A and B are shown apart, each in its own frame.
Chain A
Amino acid sequence: MANPAEKFLKPEVIRNVTRLDLRAKFIVEGFLSGLHASPFQGFSVEFSEHRKYSPGDNISDIDWSVFAKTDRFYIKRYQAETNLTGYLLMDLSASMGYTYRQELTKFEYAISLAAALGYLMVQQQDPVGLIAFDEKVRESLPPKSRKTHLANILSVLARLQPSGKTDIPASIRQIAQMVKHRSLIMIFTDLLADSDPILKAIHRLRHSGHEVIIFHILDEAEALFPFDGTVELEDNETGESITVDALGVRADYLEAVEEFRSQYKKDFFRARVDYVPLHTGMAFDKALMGYLLSRQRKG
Chain B
Amino acid sequence: MNLSVVHLGLIAGVALAAIPVILHMVMRQKPKHIIFPALRLLKARQKQTTRRLRIRQWALLLSRMAIIALMALCLARPTCNTTAPLGESNVPTAMAIVVDTSLSMQWTDARNRDRLTEAKAIASKLVRETPISSQVFLIDSAEPIETPPMSPASAEGRIKSLELKAANRPLNSAIEAAYKSVMKSDRPRREVFVLTDLTTNSLESEKPVSRPQNADADKEKASPVQLYLLRLNPPEPLNVGLRNLSFDAAAAVVGEPLDIKLEITNQGPATTRILELWVDGRKREQKAFELSANADQEIIFRTPPLDAGRDGLHQGEIRIRDDDPMPFDNIANFTVMVRPPIRVLIVTDLEQDALFLSEALDPVKGNNNANLGVSQPFRVEVLRVSQVEDRLRREKDRPQAVIFNNVAQIPDSLWTQLNLSVRSGLGVAVAIGDRSKPDSYSGPLAKQLLPADPINRVDLKSDEPLELTKPDVSHPIFAQYAEELRTELTQVPIFRYEKMARIEGARELLQISDGQPALLERVFDAAVSGRVLMWTTPLSRRPSSNDTSAWNDFPRSWAFVQVVNRMTAYLADTADDPTVVEAGTDLTFPFDPSKGFNSALVKGPGDRPGDRRPIDPKDSRLIITNPDLIGHWGIALSGPNNAARSTGFSVNPPAAESQLRILTPDQLNTVFGKDGYALAQDPDSLEKAVGLARVGVEFFPWLMLLLLIVLTVENYLANKFYGQLGDAGAMVAKGQGANA
Contact = CB atoms under 8 A, between A and B. Distances in A.
A101 B734 CA distance: 12
B271 interface: no
Contacts of A221: 36, 732
Given A232-B34, A234-B34, A243-B31, A253 B41 contact: yes
A282 B739 contact: yes
Contacts of B32: 227, 229-232
Interface in B40-64: 40-46, 48-49, 52-53, 56-57
Interface in A18-37: none
Contacts of B725: 228, 247, 250
Nearest to A252: B49
Contacts of A237: 37
A223 B34 contact: no
B735 A250 contact: no
Interface in A266-294: 277-279, 281-283
Contacts of B740: 281-283
B731 A224 contact: yes
A260 B42 CA distance: 11
Contacts of B737: 220, 223-224, 279, 281-282
A240 interface: yes
A1 interface: no
Contact of B42 (A228, A242, A258, A279): A242
A95 interface: yes
B722 interface: yes
Nearest to B730: A226
B48 A192 contact: no
B29 interface: yes
Interface in B135-163: none
B31 A231 contact: yes
A252 B728 contact: no
B41 A223 contact: no
A248 B53 contact: yes
Contact of B735 (A11, A225, A230): A11
Interface in A195-254: 218-238, 240-245, 247-254
Contact of B35 (A98, A224, A255): A98
A234 B29 contact: no
Given A242-B43, A244-B42, A277-B739, A225 B34 contact: no
A235 to B, nearest CB: 4
A247 B39 contact: no
Given A232-B33, A279-B739, A281-B737, A192 B42 contact: no
A179 interface: no
Q: Give the size category of B's interface with A.
A: 35 or more
A245 B53 contact: yes
Interface in B695-725: 721-722, 724-725
A240 B35 CA distance: 10
Contact of B738 (A192, A233, A254): A254
B79 to A, nearest CB: 41
A12 B734 CA distance: 11
A283 B737 CA distance: 10
Contacts of A251: 724
B23 interface: no
Most buried by A among B41, B724, B735: B41
A12 B740 CA distance: 14
A222 B34 CA distance: 11
B56 A248 contact: yes
Interface in A55-93: none
Contacts of B57: 245, 248
Question: By CB atoms of chain A within 10 A, which of B38, B43, B729, B738 has the most?
Answer: B38
B736 interface: yes
A257 B41 contact: yes
B34 to A, nearest CB: 5
B37 A236 contact: yes
A256 interface: yes
A235 B34 contact: no
Given A223-B739, A281-B732, A281-B735, A247 B721 contact: yes
A252 B42 CA distance: 8
Interface centre among A10, A101, A221, A258 (most CB of B within 10 A): A221
A73 to B, nearest CB: 41
A224 B728 contact: yes
Contacts of B56: 248
Contact of A247 (B45, B46, B722): B722
Contacts of A281: 732, 735-737, 740
Nearest to A11: B735
Contacts of A230: 29, 31-32
Nearest to B731: A224
A8 B74 CA distance: 62
A284 to B, nearest CB: 12
B278 to A, nearest CB: 99
Contact of A222 (B38, B44, B46): B38
A98 to B, nearest CB: 5
A6 interface: no
Given A248-B721, A250-B725, A12 B37 contact: no
Given A245-B57, A250-B728, A256-B44, A233 B39 contact: yes
Interface in B8-29: 29
A104 to B, nearest CB: 11
A85 B13 CA distance: 77
Contact of B728 (A225, A229, A257): A225
A4 B45 CA distance: 44
A15 to B, nearest CB: 11
A250 B46 CA distance: 11
Nearest to B48: A252
A225 B37 CA distance: 12
A270 B170 CA distance: 102
A193 to B, nearest CB: 9
Contact of A233 (B29, B42, B721, B739): B42
A278 B39 CA distance: 18
A238 B738 CA distance: 27
B43 to A, nearest CB: 7
Given A249-B53, A253-B45, A234 B729 contact: no
Nearest to A253: B42
A237 B37 CA distance: 7
B714 to A, nearest CB: 15
A40 interface: no
Contacts of B39: 233-235, 238, 240-242
Nearest to A106: B37
A196 to B, nearest CB: 14
A126 interface: no
Contacts of A234: 33-36, 39
A232 B728 contact: no
A263 B475 CA distance: 114
The residue among B44, B52, B728 with the most chain A CB atoms within 10 A of its own CB is B728
A256 B738 CA distance: 13
Contact of B37 (A192, A229, A252): A192
A225 B41 CA distance: 12
Contacts of B48: 252
B37 A249 contact: no
A243 to B, nearest CB: 5
A190 interface: yes
B723 to A, nearest CB: 9
15 contacts: A11-B735, A190-B38, A219-B37, A230-B31, A233-B39, A235-B36, A235-B40, A240-B43, A241-B39, A245-B57, A247-B722, A248-B722, A250-B728, A257-B38, A281-B732
Q: Which 4 A-B pairs have the closest CB atoms?
A: A95-B37, A248-B53, A233-B36, A235-B39
Interface of B: 29, 31-46, 48-49, 52-53, 56-57, 721-722, 724-725, 728-729, 731-732, 735-740
Given A233-B36, A257-B41, A283-B740, 7 more contacts: A223-B737, A224-B728, A227-B32, A237-B37, A238-B39, A244-B46, A248-B722
Interface of A: 10-12, 94-95, 98, 100-101, 190, 192, 218-238, 240-245, 247-258, 260, 277-279, 281-283
